[in-house]
Amino acid sequence: MPTRRARYRAGVTASELFLKRIAIDAPEEGLPDDYPFDLPAVRHLGERALTSPVTVFVGENGSGKSTLLEAIAVNLGLNAEGGSKNTRFATRATHSELYRWLLTTRSGTRPRDAFFLRAESFYNVASKIEDLDEGSGQLLASYGGVSLHEQSHGESFLNLAFRRFGGPGIYLLDEPEAALSPQRQLALLRRMHDLVRRGSQFVLATHAPILMAHPDADIWQFDVDGITHTTAAQTEHWQLLRAFLNHPEATIDEFLQE
């Protein structure tokens, strides 16, 4: 009987991934000591292969997930605040210099599409898209045909995934669950699955167990020891949510006791 992953898999193989490997180009004198090189996930990154069409970064706030994802995006030619390769603007230059130290190994096949969804700065991307549209409606048609500012945050995220993402492409998602209800997270999971089967690749940073549960997910755990590989069920996010759902009153009492 085929495994659960085999039943769902129909996308690219590891050798066909657009982004195959990432590494830090460390000089002989070593890496700097300041941010972001003081993050264990960065300092101990070394050289790592991407082996699945869905790579998931998990870990506590401040562990370096978004920092590394941002560096990958910029290294691939995407805008630091989000968008496609044609999205060029900077509200405020706050991204780190990590992308300059990052080495990426890519396949010989160029993706037809690429997009960096960054939840915290999507408002700025939406504003830039409207500026580029210039009232014609042609560009907005790829985002549901309605101003992204006139849609709820969650609606705009889903329209981005269902209307703008076409594949085969590479999609970097930074905390996409920020605007999505659990039901909408499942919808995004399904859309990711459809795009993976069409040859797309995803790298995402998330705290959402629903998104970690993608059957193709290779989960990278960011912690004080650097980066390790794990499963969704072994993450603290999953275990805490399961404890809460199984024993809500006891879990709340434990966290609220003095």
Summarised one tens digit per residue, pLDDT across range 157-192 is 788 888 888 889 999 999 999 889 999 999 999 999
Residue type, 216: D
pLDDT surpassing 90 at residue 127: no
pLDDT surpassing 90 at residue 83: no
Is omega for the bond preceding 215 within 30 degrees of 0, making it cis?
no
Q: What is the pLDDT of residue 135?
A: 58
CATH number at residue 117: 3.40.50
Q: Which residue has the higher pLDDT, 110 or 202?
A: 202
pLDDT surpassing 70 at residue 221: yes
Q: What is the pLDDT of residue 7?
A: 45
Q: What is the mean pLDDT of residues 45-73?
A: 94
pLDDT tier, 41 (very low <50, low <70, confident <90, very high otherwise): very high
CA distance 65 to 167: 24
CA distance 73 to 115: 8
pLDDT surpassing 90 at residue 125: no
pLDDT tier, 120 (very low <50, low <70, confident <90, very high otherwise): low
Max CA distance (Å), the chain = 58
Half-sphere exposure of residue 9: CA atoms within 13 angstroms, side-chain side:
14
Q: Which residue has the higher pLDDT, 118 or 152?
A: 118
Show the domain range for 121: 4-256
Please tell me the pTM assigned to this model: 0.84
Other Cβ atoms within 10 Å of 221 Cβ, number: 21
For the chain, what is the domain count? 1
Q: What is the pLDDT of residue 95?
A: 61
